[in-house]
Amino acid sequence: MPPRTAVFFHAHPDDEALLTAGTMAMLAAEGHRVVLVVATAGERGLAEMEPGEALGETRLKELYKSAALLGCARVECLGYGDSGLSPKGGSAEERPDNAFIDADTEAAAKALAAILQEERADLLAIYDPAGGYGHPDHVQVHRVGKRAAKIAGTEIVLEATVNRDPLLWLLRVAGRFYKFPPEFDVRTFESAYSPGEAITHRVNVRRYTRQKRSSMAAHASQASGGDSDRTLAVMLKVPRPLYRFVFGTEWYVRRDLPPGARLTHPFDRWPT
């Protein structure tokens, strides 16, 4: 396969580690050009540091470290404001002026499309329409990414997701040795991400779980500190053998393929 270019578009630093790190490391190891774009610096993320510019700088540094571990050739931040922590993105008064969820979709899409065109990207990875677990910045990644691919004429659009069937199983297992805080409700995941039958790509990334774990660990500001319910902290507590098993697959939905398509590599053609 001749080297191709894949752009991964994420909302915040650390999202790449959770959803697509194994695929990114795999593509880079195969000689493809991997580009990471985030919409925001994640300056209102969960950390011991106060939300703000300094946290954004710390999180971008963590992002560069993660990207280097995964073999990315380029990292860009579109510079939108992190819409905030609450599941609804915070009230309008709480949000920064340039919050990503308030951004003009067309303008944001053009900024991303410019990178896709410059890179002559063959593939763009975004999120599913629900934005995974529903963070508004993630829903916006879907909208902006879809439009950007259209503007740039990017051939392959993959929606990064999670097969919710094993995820629910993991959360129930994790619940046995890790005490989730009361506000963490496993049942909310019953409608998050995608059911197994909707998934078109199951990418085996077991060979890259070491990089994936290092990428998660690079986001230290999100994995340690006060609150105990952050996703990364939970994920990093998963024992290594189980981690390899649970995080050994990454899932995508490609909407232009017929139902029932089952592929194992982002650049696979259908029918195979």
Residue 110 to residue 25: CA distance in whole angstroms? 27
Q: Is there binding between residue 15 and Zn ion (CB under 5 A)? A: yes
Q: Is there binding between residue 18 and Zn ion (CB under 5 A)? A: no
Q: Is there binding between residue 12 and Zn ion (CB under 5 A)? A: yes
Q: Is there binding between residue 82 and Zn ion (CB under 5 A)? A: no
When the beta carbons of 33 and 127 are compared against Zn ion, the nearer one is 127
Alpha helix segments (H runs only) across the chain: 15-19, 21-29, 53-70, 105-119, 136-152, 164-177, 209-218, 220-223, 231-236, 240-246
Q: In this structure, what is the dihedral angle of CA atoms 133, 138, 144, 148, given to the nearest 10 degrees?
A: -90
Which residues, numbered 177-216, are part of the site for Zn ion (CB under 5 A)?
A: none
Query: How far apart are CB 18 and Zn ion at their closest, in Å?
Result: 8
Segment near Zn ion (CB under 5 A), from 5-13, 59-67, 83-91, 206-214?
Answer: 5-13
When the beta carbons of 85 and 198 are compared against Zn ion, the nearer one is 85
- Burial class of residue 2 in the structure, from the number of CB atoms within 10 Å of its CB (0-12 exposed, 13-18 middle, 19+ buried): exposed
Segment near Zn ion (CB under 5 A), from 9-17, 45-53, 65-73, 148-156?
Answer: 9-17
Query: How far apart are CB 132 and Zn ion at their closest, in Å?
Result: 8
Q: Is there binding between residue 219 and Zn ion (CB under 5 A)? A: no
Q: Is there binding between residue 11 and Zn ion (CB under 5 A)? A: yes
The residue number with the shortest CB distance to Zn ion is 12
Q: Is there binding between residue 25 and Zn ion (CB under 5 A)? A: no
Query: How far apart are CB 12 and Zn ion at their closest, in Å?
Result: 4
CB atoms within 10 A of CB 161: 25
What is the full DSSP assignment across 123-163?
A: EEEEE-TT-TTT-HHHHHHHHHHHHHHHHHT-SEEEEEE-B
Length, in residues, of the chain: 272
Can you give the binding site for Zn ion, defined by CB under 5 A?
11-12, 15
